[in-house]
A and B are shown apart, each in its own frame.
Chain A
Amino acid sequence: MSDAVSRRELLSKLVRGSVLAGMGGAALFLVKKANGEIVWQVDASRCVNSRLGEVGVEACTLCTSECVVSLSAVRAVNDFSKCGRCNVCPAYFDITSAVNELGLPSQKLCPRDAITRKMIGAADPEDPANNFYEYVIDEEKCDGCGRCVMKCKAPLGLGSITLKVRYNKCLDCNRCAISLSCPKDAVTQVPKMAGLEIKLAEHTE
């Protein structure tokens, strides 16, 4: 009786050992492969809101509605080196709205009022239209709806605003929900360094 029990014990030890060894082997195999991380990023040349040629259509807001986190992990980002700093910015103002007493459109474009502007230098007293502004998009307010991106691109603007993934919000889902519904397949997985634009930044500086 005790012999049978000890034999069973031995067998179970053997099974357990082999299961653990198998798991260890699989883990080692996987660890070897776990090099080079990938992240999701919006390809501006494919995104409907930023790619050239598609004007006069409604901005695509899927990045806002499809993302699984409550404030979308995609946000609009203004590349200041490309920004025209215009007095009447088509991404800041709704240029179809009525003109107010200052000669500017009365409505702003952003539905969440995420864009603020600050005059650069001193105001020109003779010609108020001759002032330049710095346009900053508030990270915490922007939900990546892309309306400003659509208006900023040529011919209206210089295309300095594009949609980008913010990695402090992105959960790095196995299959990004936005990528599933994106009509232009603009949300793709890229190597981490490319996604963070680290090399690009070093290159331009």
Chain B
Amino acid sequence: MPRALRALSVVVLLLAAAAALCAQAIEYSRPVETAPQQETIGGGYKTPAVQKPLPRGWWLDILDVVLLCAAMGASVWIVIKRRKRRWLVGLSIASLAYFGFYREGCICPIGSIQNVVVALADPKYSIPMVAIAVFFMPLVVAVFFGRAFCGGVCPLGAMQELVVIKPLRVPKRLDQGLGLLKYVYLALAILFALKPALTRDFLICRFDPFVGFFRFTGAPYMLATGGVFLIGGMFIGRPYCRYLCPYGGLLSWCSRLARKGVTITPDKELDCGLCTEACPYGAIDQMRAVGRKCLYCARCYASCPCDGELAQAKKALVGIGGAQ
């Protein structure tokens, strides 16, 4: 009996304590009915202005476009003229830092497809000027030089470019089959963007695999997809670019017209096939660069015994040999 009594007293005490705690909360009622103003407060009090952070200045948008232009120019110059793989890696890192991490993956030509489609279809939609510029510039460059945007400029490409460790050769048939996926994705993205304003969906933005990394936050499933692409990208060169990127599809159409793209120079070549071995993207077919597949990585030049770094090393070796 005493034990039960003790237990009961403990419960009563606890309840009392809880009640006391509750009673300690303030009895709140709104003290004023109207907000006191500068004049009623007096004493020289000035009502502070409401915080209104403004958007980025328009000149920063122009800077983005100029930098995109400059980066594509640099990509063409480095790959076509200088044939320097190392410089291109440098450009890739710079683009990744600016367009990827600093601009947080926005605005990108890949996503601008949707803006252009919506603007063409919906008379009420007003497209940002930057989106127009960003959509057309890489395509124009592709018409003349091939996919210069893909190599060294696109942050998504640069991300994958930097993780290629041991690329495996994808069988040609499989490569072609998977390559069709990007057109399916493009068609789906256009279809969803064409829907009426309320149900419209921007698939490319929603399923962008790397944007979560650029922003250091994102839906878990997207970060997981990005991770899979990066890990897969160590063994299959740039899987997103080759098999899914809808803008890559447009660029590869445009680059069919290019006459000044990456070429394997016939008058210098040895037919050794080292470039074919070096290309992780299957873009060298029978010792010739395939413009619509070439991603401007300049690995072929770096591996060429007649050209690039290997050739320079050879020259240096010959020089040493000659001196002895």
Contact = CB atoms under 8 A, between A and B. Distances in A.
A105 interface: yes
B116 interface: yes
Q: Is the interface of B mostly helix, strand, loop or mixed?
A: loop
Interface residues of B, number: 59
A98 B25 CA distance: 4
A105 B52 contact: no
Given A33-B119, A34-B127, A134-B48, A168 B41 contact: no
B50 A80 contact: yes
B143 A16 contact: yes
Interface stretch (B199-207, B265-273, B279-287): B199-207
B93 interface: no
Interface in B121-159: 123, 125-129, 132, 136, 139-140, 143
B49 to A, nearest CB: 8
A76 to B, nearest CB: 10
Contact of A81 (B37, B139, B259): B37
A99 B31 CA distance: 17
Contact of A69 (B31, B118, B217): B217
B202 A175 contact: yes
A97 B21 CA distance: 9
Contacts of B206: 175
A15 B50 contact: no
A53 interface: no
B198 to A, nearest CB: 9
A19 B52 contact: no
A109 B43 CA distance: 30
Interface of A: 12, 15-16, 19-20, 23, 26-27, 29-31, 33-39, 68-70, 77-88, 90, 93, 95-99, 103-105, 120-121, 132, 134, 136-137, 139, 154-158, 160, 164, 166-175, 192, 196-197, 201
5 contacts: A30-B119, A88-B28, A121-B43, A174-B114, A174-B202
